[in-house]
Chain A
Amino acid sequence: MLSVVVFLPLLVGLVLLAAPRPRDGVVAWSWVAAAALDLLLVVGLWAYYPAAAPDTGLGDFAYEERLLWIPSVGASYHLGVDGFSLPLLAMTAVLFLACAVDSLRQRRRARAHAVLFLFLQTVSMGLFSALDLLLFFVFFDLSIVGMYFVIAGWGHGRPTRSALQFFLYTFLGSLALLLGFIGLYVAADPHTFDMVELTAGTPLEGRGLAGGLVLLAIGVGLAVKTPTVPFHTWLPPAHTDAPAVGSAILAGVLLKMGTYGFVRIAMPILPGAWVEYAMVAVVVGVVSVLYGSLVALAQTDVKRMIAYTSVNHMGYVLLGLGAAGLAAGERPEAASLAVTGAVTQMVSHGLLTGALFLLAGALHDRGGTYDMGSYGGLAARAPRFAALAAVAFFGSLGLPGLSGFIAEFQIFAGSLGPVPVPTALALLGILVTAALFLRALQRLFLGGPGPCTARVGDLSARETAAIAPLLALSLLIGLAPHFLLDRIEPAARALAALVAG
């Protein structure tokens, strides 16, 4: 079943590729249909997800599938979902559907565009359900290849340069990750790449330096993808030059591969090393929060600004996970709260940033520029656009009632006990984010018209249909988060217990 969910998009993509010269409309609608069907299947997985028993340990996965793949190196095709992966799978399916709807009028090499995104969807779904390190790595690497072609093929500005930088930089991260995985493989007895077996065995526990080095390799690999300061420098150019849907997927889904790796691999397989070096994660997280928000504040390009707020938002995730490592021993409640918050933040950021980038794309389609100074007074000309953007901005800065608040509140509540000073510093980040979003809101939508204002009309039905559901989901999570937290919390509790040892 899970394999169907993962490979359905790719299958549709291959059919499209094999079809003799399909019309653009057919391509676009089959893409939408495939994404919608995949979302429906994920909703099915969600609905029939077995109710968690109170003492569920990590390592209990639903819908598991396991086939031999490369037995001589102990790698298997092993899929399964738990409370961490299911919400991310759902978010991925939603976001890809939104991008499919948004691209209904794509005319530039429409077929290759659709096939590439269907491929990326398979890769992303596969990554979030992989339970084998090698399989995880394969999907991790393929996501880079897919996104490289999206930026190089459909970007604007200097796309080839940005795409090259993106590929080289994130490939560096993936190689570091591979080295870490090989370290885990060699340390395990018997040698295996299976995450479940490695979680049960924790082969590098109490091995001092070896555990630290493997955590360093895996941590660097994931930090490049996340990205955190100081590995974030690929992000702004990639986002600036990527097409809007590409940015939405890059920020909404691909960045989560890094943070998801921390909760799926780094923490459960290397719990001892994680506890020992948790302070590093906390510091990196706080620096990302502050640096990301301050640099975002200085931007005049709306897309770059959103890109830097991603660095800021991913910083909260790392802060929460680091704090969970420090709290695990004495305060398991705080640790599980922080982990829950971190995972909620991944989902929330995916929805909100996806919406923000699609909105920025709509703006660029009309005005031809991302420069905030060129616009002004848009609220009167494009009320629907202004309303949706306002919701997305407020959600992103953490206003209660939207998903961002639920996530960040839990992270802060969980982190304040174990690491009071860094948490207090990170709170300043919220303040700066609020300032920058409000300022952007003023510049774009209020005040007198700018030179490009006249060209901006309101959102079309297609764009509204793509963006509004993302914000509606964020609102739903903000008002009634239980349906989501019920899935995440058991897994978070189990992870906190595992890290506590």
Chain B
Amino acid sequence: MEEMNTIALLPEMVLALASVGALLLGSWTPRHRQGRVRLLAVAALLVALAVTVAFAVAGVGSHGGGYAVDAATHAVRVAVFAGVLATVLLAADTLDAHPRASEFHVLLLLGALGTVALAGADDLLVLAVAYLLASIPLYALVGFAKDGAGTEAALKFFLLGALSGILLLTGTVLLLGAGGTTGYAGLASALPGAPGALVAVGTVAVLAGLLFKAGGVPLHFWVPDVTEGSPVPVAAFVTTVPKIGALVALYRLGDQVLAGAALDWALLAAILSAASMTLGNLGAFFQTDARRLLAYSTVSQVGYLLMAVAAVDGGADLARPGLLFYLGAYLAANLGAFAVVHALRARTLEEHTGLFRDHPWLALSLVVCLLSLVGTPPTAVFVGKLTLFTAALEADLGWLMVLAAANTLASLFYYLRWILPLFRPSREAREEVERARPRGRWSTGTAVTAAAVSLGMGLAAGPVLALF
């Protein structure tokens, strides 16, 4: 086995140390002055980002020890750290003087660490550990508000998470039995000769765990309830960031282990992709609550992202860059939309009526982010969709491409249901909400930045895609 390059794990170590540090700092800080924990978290994230960028530029990598540090890991690190940073800033509006702010930040950092580890794992046991690290802090985060809806959501999230965690471990055991090892390289050579049924059951069980993290059909039932029940920054984080790790893990699994196995990986992934995008869209159609709408829209986005996982086998050299680019684009657009929801504290779509007149920048940011989720050029998701559509066609999955296009059209309908009221003259409903709750400055800034990133990534797609 190759030797592991420990230095390459520096960003993860920074994050781990920062979460321990934040816990200690929080414990010795008076309850009303917890703001300094946020500063620590932001500083740690910035350091980790800087180290990652430096490593990516210098080409530092590592293989062996069950953990791969390559271009994909670098990209995931950047995306996850940026996503957590955005969440921390987003939460600054409501958590500024919160007595349990340090808990929030510690859990967030630990969840992010787990997400990065998911993406880097190339051993099933590391994957399982990463899964637990990425899940357990989030159960607590979802119930952070300690209210009825949050508790219900946390319980639902936890039960489904525990179930899929067990399935993931079962799958690991089955694949270990079939291949005699848990390392991806060893499995790739051993699985083609192993009993087909055993491999199939093991793979499906592992998939279940990862699909739960990604929020894809058929393990998506937690998504709407968690999004609605948890505080908005947590909802933004849970529906956005863990997906990055889970989808890259799925891609790695397909690319490195199962492409040659007896199982028809491409078909399995394509069916899951088709189901996710279609059912997510159907769920979103007539939602009146902005957060539930976003929740179902994230389920359908997982479907588009799974196209890359399905196309892994067809020799499509666009699948990996497309997946990474799409993940970044999705991160910006989805966080931007959640930031607008958080800034306004508006719940229903109706409450957004007249937003353009009152807060033109927020309204424009929301329009950019939602159109980006649709995939309208020149936003970033358009380039992501374009590359994944192309990858699917090259992998002989023409039917999936056509279905994805049809779903894109259908998704336009519900995003427009949200965009339309923004430009109508405002009614009483929103003015009351407005007066009762001032809009958040941090979240407004986050929303505008996310929209700008969405546009910028789309316009500068060439250089960004070339990085992967």
* A149 and B462 contacting across the interface, CB-CB below 8 Å: no
* A179 and B462 contacting across the interface, CB-CB below 8 Å: no
* A175 and B420 contacting across the interface, CB-CB below 8 Å: no
Complex alpha-carbon distance, A193 and B371, angstroms:
23
Residues of chain A contacted by B318 (CB below 8 angstroms) = 72-73
* B420 and A164 contacting across the interface, CB-CB below 8 Å: yes
With A72-B465, A138-B377 as given contacts, are A149 and B423 in contact (CB-CB < 8 Å)? yes
Task: Spot the interface stretch: A166-174, A275-283, A454-462.
Answer: A166-174
With A70-B465, A72-B321 as given contacts, are A182 and B416 in contact (CB-CB < 8 Å)? no
Q: State the interface size on chain B (CB cutoff 8 A).
A: 30
The answer to the question of B434 belonging to the interface, with a C-beta cut-off of 8 Å to chain A, is no
Which residue of chain B lies nearest to A187 when distances are taken between CB atoms in the complex?
A: B393
Which residues of B come within 8 Å of A, CB atoms?
318, 321, 371, 376-378, 382-383, 386-387, 389-390, 393-394, 401-402, 405-406, 408-409, 412-413, 416, 420, 423-424, 461-462, 465-466
Interface of B is mostly: helix
Chain A residues 117 to 146 lying within 8 A of chain B, measured CB to CB, are 134, 137-138, 141-142, 145
Interface CB pairs A-B, < 8 A, 15: A69-B462, A70-B383, A72-B465, A73-B318, A73-B387, A137-B377, A138-B382, A142-B376, A142-B377, A152-B420, A153-B423, A164-B416, A171-B409, A176-B405, A185-B390
Complex alpha-carbon distance, A72 and B401, angstroms:
20
* A141 and B409 contacting across the interface, CB-CB below 8 Å: no
Residue interface mask A327-363, B partner, CB < 8 A = 1: 0000000000000000000000000000000000000
Which residue of chain B lies nearest to A72 when distances are taken between CB atoms in the complex?
A: B465
* B405 and A72 contacting across the interface, CB-CB below 8 Å: no
* B377 and A175 contacting across the interface, CB-CB below 8 Å: no
A70, A73, A141, A152: the one within 8 Å of B376 (CB) = A141
The answer to the question of A89 belonging to the interface, with a C-beta cut-off of 8 Å to chain B, is no
With A70-B465, A73-B465 as given contacts, are A186 and B377 in contact (CB-CB < 8 Å)? no
Q: How many A-B residue pairs have CB under 8 A?
A: 74
Which residue of chain B lies nearest to A144 when distances are taken between CB atoms in the complex?
A: B376
* A178 and B378 contacting across the interface, CB-CB below 8 Å: no
Residue interface mask A60-79, B partner, CB < 8 A = 1: 00000000111111010000
Complex alpha-carbon distance, A73 and B316, angstroms:
12
Interface of A is mostly: helix
Complex alpha-carbon distance, A178 and B393, angstroms:
12
* B378 and A167 contacting across the interface, CB-CB below 8 Å: no
Complex alpha-carbon distance, A149 and B406, angstroms:
23
* A178 and B376 contacting across the interface, CB-CB below 8 Å: no
Residues of chain A contacted by B423 (CB below 8 angstroms) = 149, 152-153
Residues of chain B contacted by A73 (CB below 8 angstroms) = 318, 383, 386-387, 390, 465
The answer to the question of A199 belonging to the interface, with a C-beta cut-off of 8 Å to chain B, is no
Complex alpha-carbon distance, A179 and B397, angstroms:
13
* A141 and B402 contacting across the interface, CB-CB below 8 Å: no
A160, A172, A179, A185: the one within 8 Å of B402 (CB) = A179
Complex alpha-carbon distance, A49 and B387, angstroms:
37
Complex alpha-carbon distance, A138 and B335, angstroms:
24
Complex alpha-carbon distance, A178 and B385, angstroms:
11
With A134-B386, A142-B377, A145-B371 as given contacts, are A71 and B413 in contact (CB-CB < 8 Å)? no
The answer to the question of A401 belonging to the interface, with a C-beta cut-off of 8 Å to chain B, is no
A72, A75, A179, A183: the one within 8 Å of B466 (CB) = A72
Which residue of chain A lies nearest to B458 when distances are taken between CB atoms in the complex?
A: A138
Residues of chain A contacted by B412 (CB below 8 angstroms) = 167-168, 171
Which residue of chain B lies nearest to A141 when distances are taken between CB atoms in the complex?
A: B377
Closest-CB distance, B391 to chain A (whole angstroms): 10
Complex alpha-carbon distance, A134 and B466, angstroms:
17
Residues of chain B contacted by A172 (CB below 8 angstroms) = 409
> 16 extra interchain contacts, Cβ-Cβ under 8 A, other than A72-B462, A168-B409?
A69-B461, A70-B462, A75-B462, A137-B377, A141-B376, A141-B377, A142-B377, A149-B423, A160-B420, A160-B424, A164-B420, A167-B412, A168-B416, A171-B412, A186-B390, A186-B394
* A71 and B409 contacting across the interface, CB-CB below 8 Å: no
* A186 and B393 contacting across the interface, CB-CB below 8 Å: yes
Complex alpha-carbon distance, A262 and B387, angstroms:
25
Residues of chain B contacted by A171 (CB below 8 angstroms) = 409, 412
Residues of chain A contacted by B394 (CB below 8 angstroms) = 186
Residues of chain B contacted by A145 (CB below 8 angstroms) = 371, 376
Q: Which residue, of A71, A138, A153, A175, has the highest number of chain B Cβ atoms within 10 A?
A: A175
The 8 closest A-B pairs by CB, nearest first: A138-B377, A70-B462, A175-B405, A72-B465, A70-B461, A186-B393, A141-B377, A182-B390
Which residue of chain A lies nearest to B459 when distances are taken between CB atoms in the complex?
A: A69
Closest-CB distance, B315 to chain A (whole angstroms): 12
Residues of chain A contacted by B465 (CB below 8 angstroms) = 70, 72-73
* A175 and B462 contacting across the interface, CB-CB below 8 Å: no
Complex alpha-carbon distance, A186 and B393, angstroms:
8
With A142-B377, A175-B408 as given contacts, are A182 and B462 in contact (CB-CB < 8 Å)? no
Closest-CB distance, B297 to chain A (whole angstroms): 16
Residues of chain B contacted by A175 (CB below 8 angstroms) = 405-406, 408-409
* A138 and B401 contacting across the interface, CB-CB below 8 Å: no
Complex alpha-carbon distance, A492 and B424, angstroms:
47
Residues of chain A contacted by B405 (CB below 8 angstroms) = 175-176, 178-179
Complex alpha-carbon distance, A73 and B385, angstroms:
12
Complex alpha-carbon distance, A164 and B321, angstroms:
34
Residues of chain B contacted by A75 (CB below 8 angstroms) = 462
Residues of chain A contacted by B466 (CB below 8 angstroms) = 71-72
Complex alpha-carbon distance, A182 and B402, angstroms:
11
* A71 and B462 contacting across the interface, CB-CB below 8 Å: yes
Residues of chain A contacted by B408 (CB below 8 angstroms) = 175
Complex alpha-carbon distance, A169 and B409, angstroms:
9
* B393 and A182 contacting across the interface, CB-CB below 8 Å: yes
Complex alpha-carbon distance, A278 and B401, angstroms:
27
Residues of chain B contacted by A179 (CB below 8 angstroms) = 389, 401-402, 405
Residues of chain A contacted by B401 (CB below 8 angstroms) = 179, 182
Residues of chain B contacted by A153 (CB below 8 angstroms) = 423
Residues of chain B contacted by A167 (CB below 8 angstroms) = 412, 416
Complex alpha-carbon distance, A198 and B377, angstroms:
22
Chain A residues 192 to 228 lying within 8 A of chain B, measured CB to CB, are none
Complex alpha-carbon distance, A73 and B318, angstroms:
8
Closest-CB distance, B329 to chain A (whole angstroms): 13
Complex alpha-carbon distance, A172 and B413, angstroms:
11
* B378 and A138 contacting across the interface, CB-CB below 8 Å: yes
Closest-CB distance, A78 to chain B (whole angstroms): 13
Q: Which residue, of B394, B409, B466, has the highest number of chain A Cβ atoms within 10 A?
A: B409
Closest-CB distance, A3 to chain B (whole angstroms): 14
Closest-CB distance, B392 to chain A (whole angstroms): 9
Complex alpha-carbon distance, A226 and B377, angstroms:
21
Residues of chain A contacted by B387 (CB below 8 angstroms) = 72-73
Closest-CB distance, A148 to chain B (whole angstroms): 8
B321, B389, B409: the one within 8 Å of A182 (CB) = B389
Complex alpha-carbon distance, A61 and B383, angstroms:
27
Complex alpha-carbon distance, A142 and B375, angstroms:
11
